Amino acid sequence: MPLTRVKICGLSTPETVKAAIDAGADYLGFNFFLRSPRYVTPTLAAELVRLVPPNVLNVALAVDADNATWDAIVVAAKPDILQLHGNESPARLTELKARFGLPLMKAIPVSGPEDLDKMALYQDCADLLLFDAKPPKSMANALPGGNGLRFDWSLLAGQKPDTPWMLSGGLDTDNVAEAIRVTGTEMVDASSGVEDAPGVKNPALIASFIRAARST
């Protein structure tokens, strides 16, 4: 079996970008959602992506962003993939694909089996799906992702989406091996699980997470 591919999301400093690269991350995520503690400006992102080698993919994350916002992100960050983490419709994905010609990753929030029905909506317009934990309605000021929440991974057991997919939501060094075993995913994404505090990445946790993901 191929080694599990790993995305480290929400990077915001040169030190943690270098740490993720040195540890062998396949994808680096930069967050352009203003309300997130992991938010980076296009100007800062432009500096950070200069550190990213060609063999590591640069992912730009935004939430229901308009065209002007995406234009600024694409010009500054020169992403390899656009990650749509809001309520973007299939038509919006088609529009963005035509505008930028870049691969699209669509996040699908999951709390129950009914949420997996959304897979079919995006199979013709997304290049990659990201299954993340849906925050409960009772969670005040919850972010679309990066809340440290996990969902019932058994919901994905035996699923065979037509579109390549990645698992996210509350993954850390201690549980990522189990998550891979239960879901069969070949790609995982960590953000809060490699932090000391919201938005504060820990290089040692990044390295240990990648080792744990690759050990399965």
Q: How much is the pLDDT for 135?
A: 78
pLDDT, mean over the chain: 94
Distance CA 40, CA 50 (A): 14
Cα 50–chain centre separation:
20
Per-residue pLDDT tens over the stretch 102-154: 999 999 999 999 999 899 999 999 999 999 998 766 665 666 766 778 899 99
Overall average pLDDT of the 87-101 stretch: 97
Reported as a pLDDT band with limits 50, 70 and 90, residue 159 is confident
Q: What is the DSSP letter of 162?
A: S
Reported as a pLDDT band with limits 50, 70 and 90, residue 216 is confident
Per-residue pLDDT tens over the stretch 57-82: 999 999 999 999 999 999 999 999 99
Overall average pLDDT of the 153-176 stretch: 93
